[in-house]
Amino acid sequence: MSSTTLDHRFNNFDALRLVAALLVIWSHQFSVMGRPVPLILNGNEPGAVGVVLFFAISGYLVTGSWLADPHVLRFTRRRVLRIWPGLCVAVLGCALILGPLATTLPLAQYLRSPVTWDYFSNLWLQTKYVLPGVFETNPLPNGVNGPIWTIPLEVTCYLGLAVLGVFQVTRTRWFAPFAFLLLAAFFHWRYSPAPDSHRPNGHRYCNTV
Q: What is the 3-state secondary structure (H, E, C) of 55-88?
A: HHHHHHHHHHHHHHCCCHHHHHHHHHHHHHHHHH
Q: Which residues make beta-bridge pairs with 44?
A: 40
Question: Of 70, 122, 60, 75, which Cα lies nearest the Cα of 95?
Answer: 122
Q: According to the model, what pLDDT value does residue 155 have?
A: 93
Q: Which residues of 42-52 are buried (b: 16+ CB within 10 A; e: fewer)?
A: eeebbbbbbbb
Higher pLDDT, 58 or 83: 83
Residue 152, C-beta contacts closer than 8 angstroms, at least 6 positions apart: 125, 127
Check pLDDT > 60 for residue 195.
no
Q: How many angstroms separate the CA atoms of 178 and 27, rounded?
A: 30
| Cα torsion angle, 93, 18, 83, 145, sign | positive
3-state secondary structure of 193: coil
Predicted structure pTM score: 0.76
- What confidence score (pLDDT) does residue 197 get? 47
Contact 151, 159 (CB under 8 A): no
Whether residue 111 is predicted with pLDDT greater than 70 in this model: the reply is yes
Higher pLDDT, 101 or 58: 101
Give the bridge partners for 40, in sequence order: 44
Query: pLDDT, tens digit, for every residue of 132-181?
Result: 999 998 888 888 988 898 899 899 989 988 988 888 877 777 777 777 77
Angle between helices 72-93 and 46-68 in degrees, nearest 10: 150
